[in-house]
Amino acid sequence: MKSSSDFTLHILGCGSAFPTPRHNPSCQVIDHRGSLYMIDCGEGAQATMRRMKLKFSRLRHIFISHLHGDHLLGLPGLLSTLSLSQVAGTVTVHIHAEGERLLRPLVDMLCPERSYSLQWDILNPAGGETLVDTGKLKVTTFPLFHRVACCGFRFDTSGPSRRLLGDMLDHYQVPVAMRADIAAGADFVTPSGDVIPNSWLSVPTPPPRSYAYCSDTVRSRAVAAAVAGVTTLYHEATYADADASLAVPRGHSTARQAGEVARQAGVGKLIIGHYSKRYNSTDTLLGEAREVFPDTFAADEGKVFDI
């Protein structure tokens, strides 16, 4: 599935811990203007990346939410393959401290001479960190509430609110020094005193967009506050109402609870995933989430969502 948007979410895996023929364990890739950011890296991630034609050479950051196998066991294989693919530049793995301690020696043994520079960045489980800031995209963390330390990730775009029209700037001979003011919305006053309205010199850009990833976690008002107002929210929906009693003891949520978080947070749309193996289809989960939050969609391997 192709998208013309410059900010997209690609679902590589949306099952939970137990493997099924229907779903891979957790993995997704954000494509922002051609740079790829992977969130969790369950088994099968690298093969699915190739199937979805996501280029290894564009992968810059990998964020691992927590140290359960269904979120990280694809990582050693992927990091080895990046070298086989002659990926250059720097790839940064953001992971909890114990994960770095265990995986770093394994990756160094499997792949001692890499084509790229591998950086390990230790996550603070309390959240509140900025992991990436390109000036156009910022990635920050917030705590999730699971059986082990777990981080959610929030992606926020930013940039000028207007795009300059080069031909018009040249036509009115707008000095380079004034172009930042024009991008901020100012009119241009010519040396002879004529006012050229901003709308002749620039056009509005799309409003900032944002994406938040919440897997795995119990339902939480703190999580709803951390993801308030995002354009697109991914929230785990491991269980249906019929199995709701399992959710809190296992550190997970129901689909209905995911809908409640989306409603509390006032998000644009909700995508659910991390389905328990016990369900043969997502129909019940999707229906229960939609009763609370109608703009809900079910993740599935190979799906691409505009953010």
Query: Of these, 68, 154, 256, 303, which contacts Zn ion (CB under 5 A)?
Result: 68
Residues 216-245 that bind Zn ion (CB under 5 A): 216
Active site residues: 70
Residues 175-214 that bind Zn ion (CB under 5 A): none
Closer residue to Zn ion (CB): 145 or 200: 145
Count Cβ atoms within 10 A of the Cβ of residue 35 and give its class: 0-12 exposed, 13-18 middle, 19 or more buried.
Answer: middle
* CA distances to 117, 139, 180, 243, 276 from 293, in Å: 43, 26, 41, 20, 21
Closer residue to Zn ion (CB): 83 or 282: 282
Nearest in space to 72 (alpha carbons), one of 154, 155, 156, 148? 148
HSE toward the beta carbon, residue 78, CA cutoff 13 A: 32
Stretch touching Zn ion by CB under 5 A, among 69-77, 90-98, 110-118, 202-210: 69-77
**For Zn ion, what does the binding mask look like between residues 70 and 89, x meaning CB under 5 A?**
x-------------------
CB of 181 to Zn ion, least distance (A): 49
Residue nearest to Zn ion (CB): 68
Strand residue runs (E) in the chain: 7-13, 27-32, 35-41, 59-63, 90-95, 117-122, 130-133, 137-143, 151-157, 162-164, 188-189, 195-196, 202-204, 210-214, 232-236, 269-273, 296-298, 304-306
Count of residues in contact with Zn ion, rule CB under 5 A:
3
Stretch touching Zn ion by CB under 5 A, among 61-69, 114-122, 126-134, 279-287: 61-69
Stretch touching Zn ion by CB under 5 A, among 39-47, 60-68, 156-164, 195-203: 60-68
Closer residue to Zn ion (CB): 216 or 301: 216
Nearest in space to 236 (alpha carbons), one of 292, 275, 281, 286? 275
CB of 251 to Zn ion, least distance (A): 7
CB of 65 to Zn ion, least distance (A): 8
Closer residue to Zn ion (CB): 10 or 68: 68
Closer residue to Zn ion (CB): 98 or 291: 98
Burial annotation 245-255 (CB, 10 A radius, 16+ → b, else e): eebeebbbbbb
For binding to Zn ion (CB under 5 A), which residues are involved? 68, 70, 216
